[in-house]
Structure 1
Amino acid sequence: MVGKLGHDKQFGAMNKLLDEMVRDGCQPNTVTYNRLISSYGRANYLNEAMNLFNQMQEAGCKPDRVTYCTLIDIHAKAGFLDIAMDMYQRMQAGGISPDTFAYSLIINCLGKAGHLPAAHMLFCEMVDQGCTPNLVTYNIMIDLHAKARNYQIALKLYRDMQSAGFEPDKVTYSIVMVVLGHCGYLEEAEAVFTEMQHNNWIPDEPVYGLLVDLWGKAGNVEKAWQWYQAMLHAGLLPNVPTCNSLLSTFLRVNKIAEAYELLQNMLRLGLRPSLQTYTLLLSSCTDGRSKLDMGFCGQLMASTGHPAHMFLLKMPSAGSDGQNVRNHVNSFLDLMHSEDRESKRGLVDAVVDFLHKSGLKEEAGSVWEVAAHKNVFPDALREKSNSYWLINLHVMSEGTAVTALSRTLAWFRKQMLASGACPSRIDIVTGWGRRSRVTGTSMVRQAVEELLNMFGSPFSMENGNSGCFVGCGEPLNKWLLHSYVERMHLL
């Protein structure tokens, strides 16, 4: 019952039942604590989950493999990869050897943290220790290499998996279709869909949705629409992510009327527009080619009924210190607490970009500061080694990137004035930029370069790498002490 209430996020009732259980002389054991930790973790209440982990040990309950794996899983999914890895090390120190499930979790965690070679080494260690990879492990490895764009390695692992006697499941087929799609082999991806059917796997809505998404991202609106229709003809109802994919496709090619009809159809089907739905519309509004487009997108945003719209409409002016904006953003992000990190990151990116391009740059800066404090962008700032920092902007819109960079540099200045501690080196990574339209150019990189040049910064490209700006030593420290570094985001 405790587990069921926790699963349904009825935490008040769950704790009341737990108190009743103790009053009746039935003390919580490791299984009980595992249920509680899992319940809070699924709802993104990570502090509460860690408090329970400490409480169970104080109560004399020894954490088991399930306890550690749950904590590893929830922290990895929330982006707290250092805590996830710490849990793995504590599990080993406690004499609990990893099983296939634990290995798979850590491999996934390392891969998501950008340590793919380490993840691959652990995969090899797993085999050497006599712990046989299962289909889930292979799916994770294939997916990690696919996301790292190591498409040939991903396809080799797919063949190795089959040679080891594992038959692909729907997850495997979906990953392989993504790999082929990103390689530009969309017809081959469709052939995998056919193979899937021949092997008696009935394609479900997410599989159809994947093909809608692949063709949409390839810019082929007609093909995306055909697969959407094929899904309906198969007797399947679309889910919100598939509708979002098609909505994104329509918005990308400025088919606003079709986007409106799709959104109305979603509402007729009883589908509740998600945070991602609203984010797509807000981004489209920001990129609107005319005031008419912006007005129509505004109507679409309002029709979603999503709380994000009221959050944006009621955004206060920054005032003297921006605290009213920060309070407003804090309240909204608390309301969105249970949303996954990627969805929250996408919305904050769209909001900051919108405010920046609308001239509300003080407000944009305040929104960014709250989001950074709440770890919405966990990889935006990282200390690579002692006093060597990395500012990672490559997954942001250009307005967000400029705001994030400005406020982060202002934070360095504040730290220097408060403690005297100076960074020895700062790398600003822009990549090619999420908004890049042409291979070899980046609107993020261009915006960052213009900002740095405008203020005569000592940052320069390293070894011809146009996607990375480097500043170091005394020139960097002298420049950071200029008072205008505090106000860069306003220009």
Structure 2
Amino acid sequence: MKREGCHPTVVTYNRLIHSFGRANYIGEAVEVFNEMQELGYEPDRVTYCTLIDIHAKAGFLDVALDLYQKMQEVGLSPDTFTYSAMVNCLGKAGHLPAADKLFCEMIERGCVPNLVTYNIMIALQAKARNYPSAVKLYRDMQAAGFRPDKITYNIVMEVLGHCGRLDEAEAVFQEMQQDWVPDEPVYGLLVDLWGKAGNVDKARAWFTSMLDAGLRPNVPTCNSLLSAFLRMQRFSDAHDVIQNMLGMGLVPSLQTYTLLLSCCTETRSQMGVCCELMAVTGHPAHYFLVSLPDAEPGGQNVRDHASHFMELMHTEDRESKRGLLDAVIDFLHKSGLKEEAGFVWEVAAQRNVYPESVREKSSSYWLINLHVMSEGTAVTALSRTLAWFQRQMLESGTGPRRIDIITGWGRRSRVTGSSLVRQSVQELLHLFRFPFFTENGNSGCFVGCGEPLNRWLLNSYVERMHLL
């Protein structure tokens, strides 16, 4: 274009910025923005909006906010697209009050929200578990004359499900059918919601409706139905789900096996049935578990076995691997194979499956975070981590000045009731006379510090406490 003597316009530069942004070349997009200004071209509203959207989606909140301010300083007022991008940016960064304030400012300035804006706000409120606010926005959107799209319907059905208003969620499904043909994820959502509500017959009815509609369920939907049957200990129905998965050519996932192993741990009287179901899946995790060797002195054979399995599972996402290893360690611990549980935990920790479980908050101030673990895994992880501190102390001659043991069941917990993790951790600490105290009324965090902590770490039993 330049060779032919054609001069670019602001529209040309906007197109370039947009293209670079779509390709995730953010640096190049900014270079074009700077170049157009150096050549005397004034960025317009589209220029700023495009750059705000690019940076917001990439997670660069500060840059997006600066551009938003600069845009207004040069006399360009935000439009619906700009407000939507900024609301989304603020919400995803965890600044929900600021996002809500900007949404209200948008309306006050006479800028009418569109369907995308409403979807963003409904999704943000849902993610923050502000379910009544999400439902209100949905009603406001309809009152403003907007017809929901598939995204809206999915979010609202999930919100109503979490509120326990499943009949209303079904009514939204019926409403959806007037405009859209429901797809597999919509049916899968209703299977999951009814299953988690404990109504397995409703969950199965929606699963059957999906099949009747000519849709093929995916593995997560089958897992939702399987989980519902397992919770109710309806093992014959659970067996049928797995057989149907295999019959449809679906390959049971790591989550499928994790569900079965967790059920095996919880319902010890039905271990034979659960083991049979685990074998039916044919998942590599089953071979790993049944071929796990007895620990030799030092446990290197168990570590090698666990390492080899994790190499096979390297393509799985971290959350799936964490879920399975949590279930494996919990199962081994509660089955009396505590030495083996400890060695599997060490491999999981070395491979960063639990990235935030042990970290140094500041110099010699450590956090042991157990809140995402099951009861057996938490006790194993705590025992082996304290033993690691002992070894470090013996090697270096200096110990930690403070250790916080976090169970996730304290003043910030969103869940009411008692925690088996907190209870088991407290019992273990009491049993071995760990010098802990709780701070600021946070009953879910046990704190050890100073000379009492260092004296305790020198006890010989610290290395073997996980075996009790």
For 1:478 and 1:128, locate their aligned partners in 2 and report how far apart those are by CA, in whole Å: 59
For 1:272 and 1:474, locate their aligned partners in 2 and report how far apart those are by CA, in whole Å: 54
Q: 1:88 to 1:442 in 2, by over 3 A?
A: closer
Equivalent in the alignment of 1:431: 409
* Conserved 8 A contact 2:326-2:374: yes
Matches within 5 A, 1:9-48: none
Please say if 1:227 is aligned against 2:238: no
Please say if 1:455 is aligned against 2:432: yes
* SS at structure 1 position matched to 2:294: coil
Q: 1:413 to 1:300 in 2, by over 3 A?
A: same
Q: 1:225 to 1:409 in 2, by over 3 A?
A: same
1:168-223 CA distance string (max 9 Å, x none) = 4333322322222222211122222222223x122211111111111111111221
For 2:116 and 2:383, locate their aligned partners in 1 and report how far apart those are by CA, in whole Å: 42
* SS at structure 2 position matched to 1:318: coil
* Conserved 8 A contact 1:88-1:106: yes
* SS at structure 2 position matched to 1:440: coil
Which amino acid letter does the alignment assign opposite residue 160 of structure 2? L
Equivalent in the alignment of 2:423: 446
Please say if 1:398 is aligned against 2:375: yes
For 2:89 and 2:192, locate their aligned partners in 1 and report how far apart those are by CA, in whole Å: 29
* Conserved 8 A contact 2:435-2:456: yes
Deviation, structure 1 residue 344: 1.2
Q: 1:127 to 1:150 in 2, by over 3 A?
A: closer
Q: TM-score, normalised by structure 1?
A: 0.70
1:421-449 CA distance string (max 9 Å, x none) = 524341422429xxxxx951222222111
Please say if 1:264 is aligned against 2:243: yes
Q: 1:90 to 1:300 in 2, by over 3 A?
A: same
Which amino acid letter does the alignment assign opposite residue 346 of structure 1? G
* Conserved 8 A contact 1:65-1:96: no
For 2:205 and 2:130, locate their aligned partners in 1 and report how far apart those are by CA, in whole Å: 30
* SS at structure 2 position matched to 1:460: coil
Please say if 1:201 is aligned against 2:160: no
* SS at structure 1 position matched to 2:435: coil
1:123-145 CA distance string (max 9 Å, x none) = 87899999x99877865664454
Deviation, structure 1 residue 278: 0.7
Deviation, structure 1 residue 231: 1.5
Structure 1 residues 154-163 or 141-150, which shifts more?
154-163
* SS at structure 2 position matched to 1:471: strand
* Conserved 8 A contact 1:390-1:429: no
* Conserved 8 A contact 1:380-1:391: yes
Equivalent in the alignment of 2:126: 146
* SS at structure 1 position matched to 2:177: helix
Q: 1:164 to 1:368 in 2, by over 3 A?
A: farther
The gaps in structure 2 that reach 5 residues or longer are 1-18, 31-54, 70-80
> Identity of counterpart residues, as a percentage?
64
Deviation, structure 1 residue 288: 2.4
Equivalent in the alignment of 1:376: 353
For 1:141 and 1:89, locate their aligned partners in 2 and report how far apart those are by CA, in whole Å: 20
* SS at structure 2 position matched to 1:298: helix
RMSD: 3.9
**Match among 276, 282, 286 for residue 261 of structure 2:** 282
* Conserved 8 A contact 1:212-1:246: yes
For 1:272 and 1:133, locate their aligned partners in 2 and report how far apart those are by CA, in whole Å: 43
**Match among 223, 229, 238 for residue 250 of structure 1:** 229
Deviation, structure 1 residue 352: 0.6
Structure 1 residues 241-250 or 467-476, which shifts more?
467-476
* Conserved 8 A contact 1:103-1:126: no
Equivalent in the alignment of 1:188: 168
Aligned length: 403
Deviation, structure 1 residue 398: 0.7
For 2:309 and 2:91, locate their aligned partners in 1 and report how far apart those are by CA, in whole Å: 30
Deviation, structure 1 residue 287: 1.8
Please say if 1:214 is aligned against 2:204: no
**Match among 288, 297, 317 for residue 340 of structure 1:** 317
Which amino acid letter does the alignment assign opposite residue 131 of structure 2? Y
Q: 1:64 to 1:364 in 2, by over 3 A?
A: farther
Which amino acid letter does the alignment assign opposite residue 213 of structure 1? D
For 2:283 and 2:209, locate their aligned partners in 1 and report how far apart those are by CA, in whole Å: 29
Deviation, structure 1 residue 158: 4.7
The gaps in structure 1 that reach 5 residues or longer are 1-30, 39-60, 67-83, 111-115, 433-437
Q: TM-score, normalised by structure 2?
A: 0.73
For 1:429 and 1:120, locate their aligned partners in 2 and report how far apart those are by CA, in whole Å: 28
* SS at structure 2 position matched to 1:146: helix
For 2:395 and 2:124, locate their aligned partners in 1 and report how far apart those are by CA, in whole Å: 41
Q: Which structure has the larger Rg? A: 2
Deviation, structure 1 residue 346: 1.1
For 2:166 and 2:408, locate their aligned partners in 1 and report how far apart those are by CA, in whole Å: 29
For 1:395 and 1:107, locate their aligned partners in 2 and report how far apart those are by CA, in whole Å: 27
For 2:355 and 2:159, locate their aligned partners in 1 and report how far apart those are by CA, in whole Å: 26
* SS at structure 1 position matched to 2:264: helix
Structure 1 residues 270-279 or 444-453, which shifts more?
444-453
Q: 1:360 to 1:425 in 2, by over 3 A?
A: closer
Q: 1:297 to 1:109 in 2, by over 3 A?
A: same
* SS at structure 1 position matched to 2:346: helix
**Match among 163, 170, 180 for residue 150 of structure 2:** 170
For 1:213 and 1:391, locate their aligned partners in 2 and report how far apart those are by CA, in whole Å: 33
